[in-house]
Chain A
Amino acid sequence: MMSRLLQSRGLAQIIALLVILAVDRAVSPQFFDLRMQDGRLFGSLIDVLNRGAPVALLALGMVLVIATRGIDLSVGAVMAISGAIAASLADAHGLPLALAAALGAGLLCGLWNGFLVAVLGIQPIVATLILMVAGRGVAQLITEGRIVTFTAPDLVWLGNGAVLGVPAPVVVVLGMLIVTGAVVRGSALGLLIEATGGNARASELAGIGTRGMILAVYVWCGLCAALAGVIAAADIMGADANNAGLWLELDAILAVVIGGTSLFGGRFSLVLAMVGALIIQAMNTGILLSGYPPEFNLVVKAAVVLVVLLLQSPRFANVGVVLGRARQ
């Protein structure tokens, strides 16, 4: 009973999120308090959504890449590049051009990764490692190693603005989720992506253009990462090439995995990847609110991730059943 319940898709993740939110409420009694501040909702719950937005965007692209049995390590570096470009152009050339250039750079980065993986057949982890290392250097060249600040109000709005009280980054994530969902689940595309990841050769023989599929998911991943980079830069009104998106590729992969998507490809869930991103951020915010010394941050994070992953493991659920029988 227990094992079947936990294996019904998504339940483990939802339970994990609810438990973490309950723990957050326990360590910080005002956790669910909400009020309006300057036309924007204000509260810890909003922080979770708002701070989780960059990782959620990364996860949205990453989940499709992982569904094709790939991985993209370069998303953090792409964030740094797009943030640097947007910040350098915003004041002088306005938002449309800055945004177009930043997102264009993300598309190019994705195209490069896709080309290495799909056309040259390089293993994804190696292919994207190249841009992970080089990309941050490119971003540092753009910013000349300093933090480039800007004041252009429309770009700042992307980080600090709000629509009906909901922070702009959250609105952007919702928009991207709807678009991505409509494209991959509203058509057969999602199925074709899953088929490519499940068995590329069989899919190819069945007439699926696997090469095009792989190229497309890396391009989409690059675009999502670029958008995350623009939001991260808008948030602090500056581009910090040394630190923007640093190690966030790992959080994005973690969000996807917590969301129950297998690294072996073949199936994916966009919504559960978003839940994964929320789990990570709810945990981070909870740690910050708890007042524990910072030396505990990583240990607590690791322990929670371990528990969430164990909850999803069919074997672990079976162990629970066996133990339950033994007690009877």
Chain B
Amino acid sequence: MTSKALLAATALVAITLSLPATAAELTVGFSQIGSESGWRAAETSVSKSEAAKRKVTLKIADAQQKQENQIKAIRSFIAQGVDAIFLAPVVSSGWDAVLKEAKEAKIPVVLLDRDIDPSGKELYLTAVTSDSVHEGAVAGEWLAKAVAGKACNVVELQGTVGASVATNRKKGFDSVVAKNANLKVVRSQTGDFTRAKGKEVMESFIKAEGGGKTICAVYAHNDDMMVGAIQAMKEAGLKPGKDILTVSIDAVPDIFKAIAAGEANATVELTPNMAGPALDAIMAYKAKGTVPPKWIQTESKLYTAADDPQKIYDSKKGLGY
């Protein structure tokens, strides 16, 4: 993946550099974290297509998960005199010095997907991120609506213990559970965001809950764990999606395959399109001087079988997930 993306990125930069830039066209430097996950790869490829759609020249620098590489990339973007810098920060601290340099060079910085420490609040224009507490709440609200007041025992597959995404997705879901007396989280364990652990934990949930007969729904903090849990349910002779409702978060292609097959019910999208809203904000800022709000929250869209899952699967599978 890394080598391919790198090649593609280099090729893109090479092509775009050779084009004569007209005055109206913008050049944006994007310091991407690297290729830590399928979602990250999808974010990179969506950023490219969103930039192409708006005729913006996007230069992507792959930092290979290292902050020093990101700082180097930002400095080189400043030296090149780009119109704006997108930054997906690998860590939340240590950005003040380099962002000050960008500010002095009057280059607006937009944070993508992750935020930085509050001390740097004045140093960037806006942050485009998803609200993971809200994602958990959207998942919970779907379930509350789906069971329509009936008593429902939920088992929860948590993400890695201590990961902020896991804590927030739990918090959001719990807030809905607290408002609906019919919903009850009976078991909650970590599946480390992986398919293998999701399957193993679900196997034990099924055994501990009378062969799965007392489980009404599964909530997983990501789709990969749900894919594992679906296998565990099938092997136990249960029908996921019918006997046991499922709702998870991320909207990776494989969960749409499961939804299309009737084995999963719902997923909440963590959109890989962070660059789209960021580009719109930058273009408005450059053209009319419109200052965007400090935080642009991306939509946490819910997908179910009603949304033509097969079509979404086909459109998503090429993004590099």
Contact = CB atoms under 8 A, between A and B. Distances in A.
A140 B2 contact: yes
A294 B195 contact: no
Interface in B180-227: 187-190, 192, 194-196, 199-201, 203-205, 207-208, 210, 224, 227
A291 B187 contact: yes
Contacts of A262: none
A96 B8 CA distance: 35
Contact of A297 (B187, B190, B205): B190
A90 B254 CA distance: 18
Nearest to A137: B2
A284 B254 CA distance: 28
B236 interface: yes
B95 interface: no
Contact of B192 (A38, A243, A244, A293): A243
Contact of B3 (A141, A295, A297): A141
Given A146-B1, A294-B161, A232 B37 contact: no
A236 B235 contact: no
A289 B208 contact: yes
Contact of A43 (B161, B192, B207): B207
A238 B195 contact: yes
Given A37-B237, A294-B161, A236 B204 contact: no
A147 B42 CA distance: 13
Contacts of A144: 1, 4, 320
Interface string A274-287: 00000000000100
Interface in A116-166: 140-141, 143-147, 149, 160
Of listed A47, A51, A140, A144, residue having the most chain B CB within 10 A: A144
Chain B binding surface, main DSSP class: helix
A42 interface: yes
B57 interface: no
Of listed A37, A285, A294, A295, residue having the most chain B CB within 10 A: A294
A51 B200 contact: yes
A145 B231 contact: no
B200 A147 contact: no
A235 interface: yes
Contacts of A232: 196
A289 B207 contact: yes
Of listed A28, A238, A288, residue having the most chain B CB within 10 A: A288
B190 A38 contact: no
B158 interface: yes
A243 B194 contact: yes
B173 to A, nearest CB: 15
A145 B2 contact: yes
A74 interface: no
Contact of A146 (B188, B194, B321): B321
A240 interface: yes
A113 interface: no
A88 interface: no
Contact of B37 (A43, A242, A293): A242
A223 interface: no
Nearest to A51: B200
Contacts of A272: none
A145 B199 contact: no
B1 A47 contact: no
A253 interface: no
A37 B200 contact: no
Given A37-B236, A42-B236, A288 B189 contact: yes
Given A146-B320, A243-B195, A288-B189, 13 more contacts: A28-B207, A37-B236, A141-B2, A141-B3, A160-B231, A235-B196, A243-B192, A243-B194, A244-B196, A291-B187, A294-B158, A294-B189, A295-B161
4 closest A-B pairs by beta carbon, nearest first, are A145-B1, A288-B204, A294-B190, A144-B1
13 contacts: A42-B236, A44-B207, A141-B3, A144-B4, A144-B320, A147-B195, A160-B231, A236-B195, A236-B227, A240-B195, A240-B196, A244-B196, A291-B208
